[in-house]
Structure 1
Amino acid sequence: MTRRSLAARLALLFACLSFAVLAAVGAVLYQSLARQLADRDDAALVARVEQIRALLQDTDLIALIHQKPRLFSNMLGNREALLVLRFPGQAPLIEVNPSHTPVPRVMPLRTNAPLGLDDVRHAAEHGDIPFSVLAVTTPISGAPQDLEIVAGRLMSERSRVLRAYRNEILLVASSGACLLAFLAWWGARRGLSPLRALARQTASIGVRNLSTRIEQRGAPRELAPLIDGVNGMLERLERSFTQLSQVSADMAHDLRTPIGNLLGQTEVALGQRRDVAYYEKLLGSNFEELQRLSKMTDNMLFLARADNADNAIERKLLPLADELQRMVDYFEGVAEEREVRIAVSGDGQVWADQTLLRRALGNLLANAVRYADAGSVIVLTATAHTAGVEISVENRGPTIPPQHLARIFDRFYRADPARADSASSSGLGLSIVRSIMTLHQGRWQASSNDGLTRFTLGFPPQPR
């Protein structure tokens, strides 16, 4: 089934509305004209009857009929008119009926008062052609009884005028609707031209030119929200595509190191026969490399699940003191090896998923222990307030340059361009923290000044 264009639909709708409006206006004008013509004809009929009645009151009817036999027919002035003068129960004295219209049976009015339009009676004759009739009685000098006057008129001319007028109304309404439909289609085509230009611009954007943006100059104001939405979508796509490309490159780089080590060590071992101790050392080294690959794979799977908007988390109220102390106990041994100490402070409750909270804090503490100066103190602090709970991890060590802080939560991003620590880190720890906070609708922030680095996580309060 072929779908009509928007311009065609607007033109069709406008044509229907235009025809309806023009036809309604024509119908009102038609009814007004018909009423005026009917009133005019009825007034002419009343005037003739009054004229005849006045004439007969002062004249000898019989003498008038003999002297002027054509007087009454000339008074009618129309071949469609009817006039009958008769005494009740007798043959007509005068009957003027050029069109041979049957004389209707109408009860005559017995009044000497002036006649009005309401005294005229209407009927339909000869194919629904209107017929107006007026019957009255009037006294005649020298006559024993009143004379009955029956006057009428067949409105063929009026019907013909109204029919022609009705046909003209339909013609004008149809022509006007067609003209207005064409103008509506032309206007809609011109009005939709910016939308077609927008479609052409969006169709020309591909993977190679995602940085292209839709120009708003010259576009109608109604398209401004759509253009802003498309530009925002392009910006997100460009950022996601760039990030995906960077992630792919970084993942390939990080996977290449352990895989290269595994291949190299295995190739050397297969070059010649070795003793058992060498193979045991080789298996231990390969085991460490496989652990790195397994950890990186687990982290990537976690991030993929966390990026799913439908991923649900099980939040509940957790005691902050217990959770923080648990993390301190877990990292106590590693901290002693690095000659650093972990101090904890804070109390209250946090509305969070317990497993995800521990993983986020574990990643932050692992970073702090790795980069903290020997002999320094890592401070783990929790602060509760009306906007929620803030947990911060603070350590003294190398200052992170400002240009790296903005991207430090990106996947596979390391502030050290040389990747000197790539053997012990996959570059996914802080991106996992960001994903966890996104699932909690929380906040994450990093600052580093004068050798003091602080990571802050903000958890929203429990909904009421």
Structure 2
Amino acid sequence: MKIAGSYSLTLRLALVFAVLAFVSLAGLGVALYQELEEQLTRRDDIQLVSRIDQLRTILNDSNTLELIKNKPALFQNMLGTREALLTIGAPGQPPLLVVNPGNLALPSVPAVPVEHVMALNDVQHLPSINGVPFSAVAASIDSGDLGNLQVLIGKLMSERTAMLANYRLSVYGLASLAAIVLALVGCLLVYRGLLPLRRLAKHAHGIGVGNLNERLASAGAPRELQPMIEAFNAMLDRLARGFAQLSQVSTDMAHELRTPINNLLGETQVALQQPRSIDAYQQLLASNVEELERLTRMLDNMLFLARTDPASALSQRQELDAADEMQRIADYFEGLAADVGMCIEARGRGVIWAEPMLLRRALANLCANAIKYGAADSTVQVEAFAEADGSYLRVRNQGATIPAEHLSRLFERFYRVDQSRERSAQSNGLGLSIVATIMQLHHGRYRVSSDNGQTCFELFFPARN
């Protein structure tokens, strides 16, 4: 069993078990000790009261002086122990009888009156002698010819003290033993109880880049570990999606960057094989600039796809006025559309629940696509309207009908219907893929339809919950 110092959960729980066991048993033992102490004290007090009652009876019914002189052993036998003392005498005079085998110091105890009936509260608990409690009781008696005498009985409670000391030792000893046993049992139970956690840790340790699709099994795991397993599997899902996204970006970049780089390299090598005119070099540089601009846009778009954080996008959603957003995008593309003889119509109503920058980028990509492939002297329609379940945005343009077999793949990265546009500096095949990513971040939907020379892209943003 491996214990990681003070940070070991097993050690912590074992110590908790030990402390709880010791405190519980010691507390119970203290309570029983106090009860036992009270009972023993009561027993000793009863014995003292009983003896002094006996002495009052004897001395009241007999010739006191003759009894004291002739039968001193009677009084000594009544004490029954060397730790007791008895004195009989008149107040303020030397005692007539002293029985003190232990040579105890004579205490000063007030005597109860003759007519007083002895009770337990008449017993005086005096300061301890060498740590041993001492109790005494005194009473006045009517001895007839000798007048009132005072009888004092005291006792050193050594037996009671020894019994209680043994009891205390037993309580703390048993509590300590129970704490040790419970600590060991606790260690074993915690060690066995954490076996499922160690199995999960071993399983998790074996998950790497090559098997990110593997998940922790929740079957047979304790109920307390289910939330952790679900959270860990959800984290693996996010990591798998992120890794797949990065892998796809890397693959796409390696594939798509090859063509423009080869073009740049080939054209430059051909130009360097022999001297050329200034016009030829200018044409080469212009062509290279076109390819470099295409590379720049491609890298920007691919980095956008790789860096987009779903949690951040969802947390920054706002209620956006549909009419304002449609007019904003129409104003932005008005000049670009006019350059190719097109115009833009925008209308909207309701509220769109979306992240502003991502919404505008999706609309901008759709509008740029519509202007790029739309027919001259046509109108691009941008509209938005709200329903109970969310907001719908549509971008329509007039132009060539897109064959049905291409519609399902338009949102794939680098997919082009017209392969002749592959080297276009204005197209890198990522615009619609970015739109799809933005809609996935918003848990929305996207689709495209093309019929009778009209192409319509539709986006759906769910309503605010």
TM-score, normalising length from structure 1? 0.84
Letter in 1 for 2:122: D
Tell me by how many angstroms 1:161 deviates.
0.9
Are residues 1:423 and 2:428 paired?
no
SS across alignment from 1:79:
coil
Q: Structure 1 residue 353: deviation in Å?
A: 8.5
Query: Which structure 2 residues correspond to residues 64-463 of structure 1 after superposition, within 5 A?
Result: 64-143=67-146, 145-275=147-277, 278-303=280-305, 307=309, 319-320=324-325, 322-327=327-332, 329-333=334-338, 336=341, 343-346=345-348, 358-370=360-372, 378-384=380-386, 390-395=392-397, 397-399=402-404, 404=409, 408=411, 412=413, 414=415, 421-424=421-424, 425-433=427-435, 442=442, 444-448=444-448, 451=451, 453-456=456-459, 458=461
- Measured against aligned partners, the alpha-carbon deviations of 1:365-387 in whole angstroms (never above 9, x if no partner) come to 23334556899865321225688
Instruction: Report deviation, 1:251.
Output: 1.0
- 8 Å Cα contact 1:214-1:231 kept in structure 2: yes
Q: Distance in 2 between matches of 1:11 and 1:391?
A: 63
- Indicate conservation of the 8 Å contact 2:436/2:446, yes or no: no
Question: In 1, distance between residues paired with 2:63 and 2:52?
Answer: 17
Give, in angstroms, the shift of residue 26 of structure 1: 1.2
Structure 1 residue identity aligned to 2:53: E
Distance 1:355 1:37 in 2: 86
Unmatched 5+ stretches in structure 2? none
| In 1, Cα distance between equivalents of 2:280 and 2:449 | 47
The residue aligned with 1:20 is 23
SS at match of 1:219: coil
Q: 1:226: how far off?
A: 0.7
The whole-number CA distance in structure 2 between the counterparts of 1:449 and 1:353 is 25
1:311-368 Cα deviation digits (max 9, x unpaired): 99998878346324325524435765xxx87554335787988876654322112333
Q: Which moved more, 1:385-394 or 1:121-130?
A: 385-394
Conserved? CA contact 2:14–2:187, under 8 Å: yes
Contact 2:392 2:461 in 1 (8 A): yes
- The count of residues paired between Structure 1 and Structure 2 equals 451
Q: Is the 8 A contact 2:22 2:176 kept in 1?
A: yes
Q: Deviations over 1:90-119 (max 9, x none)?
A: 332221111111111111111423211100
Q: How far apart are the structure 2 equivalents of 1:243 and 1:308?
A: 12
Partner SS state of residue 215, structure 2: coil
Q: Distance in 2 between matches of 1:376 and 1:443?
A: 33
TM-score w.r.t. length of structure 2: 0.84
Do the aligned partners of residues 371 and 58 (structure 1) sit closer, same or farther apart at CA in structure 2, a change above 3 Å counting? same
Q: Give the distance between the partners of 1:103 and 1:154, measured in 2 at CA.
A: 12
**CA distance in structure 1 between the aligned counterparts of 2:360 and 2:71, rounded to whole angstroms:** 127
Identical amino acids, percent of aligned pairs = 42
SS at match of 1:423: coil
Structure 2 contact 135–154 (Cα < 8 Å) conserved? yes
- Output the amino acid matched with 2:331: R
Contact 2:394 2:456 in 1 (8 A): no
In 2, Cα distance between the equivalents of 1:306 and 1:91? 108
SS of equivalent residue, structure 2 residue 154:
strand
- How many angstroms apart in 1 are the aligned matches of 2:82 and 2:317? 100
Contact 1:120 1:134 in 2 (8 A): yes
Partners of 2:329 and 2:364 within 8 A in 1: no
What is the distance in 1 between the residues matched to 2:191 and 2:132?
A: 49
Equivalence for 2:57 = 54
1: CA distance, partners of 2:328 / 2:308: 22
1:444 Cα shift?
4.4
CA distance in 2, matches of 1:400, 1:382: 28
Task: Decide whether the 8 Å contact of 2:340 with 2:376 is kept in 1.
Answer: no
